[in-house]
Amino acid sequence: MPDIHAYLSSGVIDAEARAVRAWRRIQHKPSSITVTRGSTTLAAQTVRLDWKTVREVRGVAGAAAERELVILGVSGHPDETIEDTDLVRGDRFSAGGAIYQVKDVVSYPGEIQATAARMT
């Protein structure tokens, strides 16, 4: 059985091992996105997209869920053919016929996580 106390007190995070695990999670549900940053279009990137319901919005026609996307990307993978995910706040991309804008990006050893809100 793993010793959680030893793990937490070691202070060592293996970024490459985390990148390998992040890439494995991405491969369970991969999506290819092409990011637009200002007037520049970046090369397609493989990420994992998961839906997150933020809140319910009520209108004249009824209620609808306002949803965000959670994006999982990789950084520092030991396989040099797997490029780091390149996302910054304000980037735009399309998924499922809608356009999304990146609202927040958090970097962790071996991976990045971002949220994006639907624009259209």
Domains within the chain, CATH numbers bracketed: 13-118 (2.40.10)
Three-state DSSP at 58 gives strand
What was the pLDDT predicted at 26? 98
Place of tokens 């520049």: 40
Structure tokens at 115: 């949220």
Going from the first residue of the chain to its last (120 residues), give the mean pLDDT of each consecutive group of 10, the final group possibly shorter: 65 87 97 97 97 75 77 97 97 93 96 92
Q: Quick one: pLDDT at residue 73?
A: 98
Residue 15: how many CB atoms within 10 A of its CB? 16
Give residue 62's pLDDT. Answer: 73
Query: What's the confidence (pLDDT) of residue 107?
Result: 95
CA distance 103 to 87: 10
Q: What is the pLDDT of residue 64?
A: 67
| 0.85 exceeded by pTM | no
